[in-house]
Amino acid sequence: MRKRHPKKGKGDTRKLTAKDLQKNVLLLFQKDPKRRLNPKQIAKKLNIDNNKDSVLHACQELVKLGYIIELEDFKYKLRGSSGALLGQDRKVLNGVMDMTRSGAGYVTVEGQQDDIFVAAKNMNTALHGDKVKIKAWVPRGRNRPEGEVLEVLERAREHFVGTIWIHPRYAVVVTDPPSSLEILVDPSKIMGAVDEDRVVVKIESWTGGQYRQPMGVLTYVLGKAGSHDIEMKGILINNGFNLEFPPEVIKESEELGTGIPEVEIAIRRDMRKTPTFTIDPENARDFDDALSFLYLPNGNLEVGVHIADVTHYVHENTALDKEALARSTSVYLVDRVCPMLPEKLSNELCSLRPHEDKLTFSAVFTFDKDEKIVERWFGKTVIHSNRRFSYEEAQEVLDTVEGDFAQELKVLNKIAHKLRKERFKKGAINFESEEVRFRLDDAGVPIEVFTKERKDAHMLIEDFMLLANREVATYVSEKGTKEEAEIPFVYRVHDEPNLDKVEELARFARQMGVEMNVATPKDIARSFNKLAQLAEENEALSILGPIAIRTMAKAAYSSDNIGHYGLAFDFYSHFTSPIRRYSDVLAHRILFQNLKATHRVNKEKLEEMCQHVSKQERRAADAERESIKYKQVEFMSKHLGEVFPGFISGIGDRGIFVELRGNRCEGMVSFETMNEPFEIDPGRLRIRGVYSKKEFTMGQEIQVRIVSTNLQRRQIEMFWEEGI
């Protein structure tokens, strides 16, 4: 794995993360604006371990951002006289808008340290999440950069959920935060909506003038506010996911044949007689993956990881394919799924249901008697699943060693443990965290909130999926290396953590009695795993886990491979869930095209798709978190006045956040309800009473009473019962 040492002696080298490398390269050019350097010279000047390709990639990214320009012979120089926002010089940049409730916003620009403030009058119709082109500058006498939107390059979404108010001559839809727009609607075209109905509106135009107002048309009337069904639909729409598929997509899916022609079976590896089974959640209907198990005549074991062959049905540039790319992912809310593919595909044709022949794309591994991989094979197959297990059923078989596939599961579990052990030995991080789960009544109302315990059955499947994902990425990368020409591919990448944040975490952990070694990325990984172990022994330390995760970079999709730090993999992709992830569809296509011949897709176009899929993944995660928060607030609304144990999970400007034990419901205790003012530590890890000088830290256990809940705002207000 990559190594990076924060403190080095003269002559020592270091290895920088992708982002830190870009910053250091830019600083190098800024020190001497006339300097012309190639990647090899840059690496030498910076005294770093990064290879020439990673430096070249950093330079190319800085070119895209407009900081440097490319010359002949792979040399680069600073653009103009400066690569940053200096004085009142105005610079045109592209970024993403983060809108505030006031109507103003902040634009995040890749490679720019500070977000750029845009006043409401300078928004030029930009909305939350939009990709924008801005003119930016630093006003004289100030340090904070400001800007003006010149153009909206790409809308984050077209449809908005809001509440309609109807007047004699016009109607207005007030949309939900963070946009909080007032969209004018023709009152004769309101689809039967009445005052205070929740509706979906699409913006079609904007009025003129400095403060331009959007004008739209209703596309859906959800009904009166308060229904959990309406709120769940609103969460999906507000995060940019359509509730229904376009008619042409449904038509295309319905026209797909359900049978498998003999000629198709003839060109595939027939594995229907190999014992095969699936393990999935109890309520799952889209079974992406299956495992097969077969002892070979020489005593070796053949394990097949079989993945639904979505690309057999979803061809490039069809209506199905375009819609799948637009969505990029299925979204799993508490009580429903918004699928990436229509039901005919996700739950029927592609789902690896038991006792049915199914088309698959497989990664087949041969293990010797020491459970070492001695051979791997990739290709199209046809399988027949003999048994469908839920995780609970598979776990019972593992616990009792009785039932269907008892011996097979025992052996697979042993191999999975070995794969896991090897991964952690190489520096992988244990990212396990408690997942919140709900038990709902027939009306969808939560009657219990609990955390799901991960057992061997879950991790067995995970370990074999990780193996397949790693080996697929390794195969494509190695093939490109042998041919001395890169084969563009979809990698799942994860950069090293931010050292400043890690050192801050280490200081806080030390105050809680935990020493962390953060000298190198490998040491950081070991320390994170140590935190996870200690949290199991001492619940008060469990707060360190989420803080540790926040120091990490976010995993994403990219055509430029930098490895996966968290898994300690040099090569990693997503291949195992094409029913619900478009990244896997892309991986299937590229892998298949490169099994017998060599095929290179357009890397620039592939990178655009990677960025889109990454963006959709983040939106899906936001929607899923919102739905969990909504159901938690809904659950706690039935417990007003009750006292619960919890721990301080965050510190904000208005108060402290408290997470309840057991159900992980989080609420806020306002500073206004406390009996003295408090000073907030700069690192927001502790507060201190102004008069009493008492200190309260993150992770500290306290008792709180539930005061009120607000479903619309997803808020729980609490009162600190003791400790002040």
Q: What is the pLDDT of residues 11-63, one digit of tens each?
A: 456 788 888 888 889 888 887 777 788 888 898 888 888 887 788 888 888 88
Neighbours of 114 (CB within 10 A): 15
Cβ–Cβ < 8 Å for 304, 292 = yes
The reported pLDDT for the residue numbered 6 is 40
Residue 132, φ and ψ in degrees, nearest 5: -130, 155
| Domain pair 159-225 / 640-720, same fold | yes
Question: Does position 472 have pLDDT exceeding 60, yes or no?
Answer: yes
Cβ–Cβ < 8 Å for 715, 657 = no
Average pLDDT over residues 450-472: 94
Q: What is the pLDDT of residues 361-395, one digit of tens each?
A: 999 999 999 999 999 999 999 999 999 999 999 99
CA 699 to chain centre: 25
The reported pLDDT for the residue numbered 38 is 86
Q: Respond yes or no on whether the N-terminal peptide bond of residue 247 is cis (omega within 30° of 0).
A: no
Question: Does position 82 have pLDDT exceeding 70, yes or no?
Answer: no
Domain 640-720: top CATH class: mainly beta
Question: Does position 5 have pLDDT exceeding 50, yes or no?
Answer: no
Among 18-27, 207-216, 392-401, 455-464, the least confident range? 207-216
Q: Give me the helix-helix angle, 391-400 and 406-425, nearest 10°.
A: 100
Q: What is the pLDDT of residues 222-258, one digit of tens each?
A: 988 878 889 899 999 989 899 999 999 999 999 999 9
Q: 3-class DSSP state for residue 126?
A: coil
Place of tokens 């600190």: 720
The reported pLDDT for the residue numbered 673 is 93
Structural element, H or E, at residue 409: helix 406-425
pLDDT category at 3 given cuts 50, 70, 90 is very low
Output the six-digit token pair for 713: 């705002």
Of the CATH numbers 2.40.50.700, 3.40.50.2000, 2.60.40.10, 3.40.190.80, which one belongs to the domain with range 159-225? 2.40.50.700
Output the six-digit token pair for 693: 């000088």
Q: What is the pLDDT of residues 560-597, one digit of tens each?
A: 999 999 999 999 999 999 999 999 999 999 999 999 89
HSE-up of 76 (CA within 13 Å, CB side)? 27
Neighbours of 103 (CB within 10 A): 15
Average pLDDT over residues 462-482: 97
The reported pLDDT for the residue numbered 113 is 66
Question: Does position 451 have pLDDT exceeding 80, yes or no?
Answer: yes
- Cα separation, 558 vs 491, in Å, equals 5
Residue 420, φ and ψ in degrees, nearest 5: -65, -45
Q: What is the pLDDT of residues 681-713, one digit of tens each?
A: 877 778 999 999 999 988 888 999 999 999 888
The reported pLDDT for the residue numbered 13 is 64
Average pLDDT, the chain: 89
- Cα separation, 340 vs 580, in Å, equals 6
Q: Give me the helix-helix angle, 39-46 and 52-64, nearest 10°.
A: 100
Q: 3-class DSSP state for residue 300?
A: coil
Average pLDDT over residues 479-505: 90
Q: Which architecture, in CATH terms, is 18-78?
A: Orthogonal Bundle (1.10)
**Structural domain boundaries in the chain:** 18-78, 91-154, 159-225, 249-431, 459-634, 640-720
Whole-model pTM: value is: 0.82
Cβ–Cβ < 8 Å for 187, 170 = yes
Output the six-digit token pair for 513: 């009695």
Cβ–Cβ < 8 Å for 540, 701 = yes
Q: 3-class DSSP state for residue 484?
A: coil
Question: Does position 164 have pLDDT exceeding 70, yes or no?
Answer: yes
Check residue 508 and give left, alpha or beta (phi > 0: left; psi -120 to 50: alpha): alpha
DSSP 125: T
The reported pLDDT for the residue numbered 80 is 55
- Cα separation, 651 vs 256, in Å, equals 54
The third-level CATH classification (topology) of the domain covering 91-154 is OB fold (Dihydrolipoamide Acetyltransferase, E2P) (2.40.50)
- Cα separation, 97 vs 478, in Å, equals 39
Name the residue among 360, 357, 353, 358 with its Cα closest to residue 379: 360
Among 71-85, 113-127, 439-453, the least confident range? 71-85
Question: Does position 83 have pLDDT exceeding 50, yes or no?
Answer: no
Average pLDDT over residues 215-219: 93
- C-alpha dist (Å) from residue 387 to 275, 354, 525, 693: 9, 6, 38, 63
Average pLDDT over residues 622-646: 95
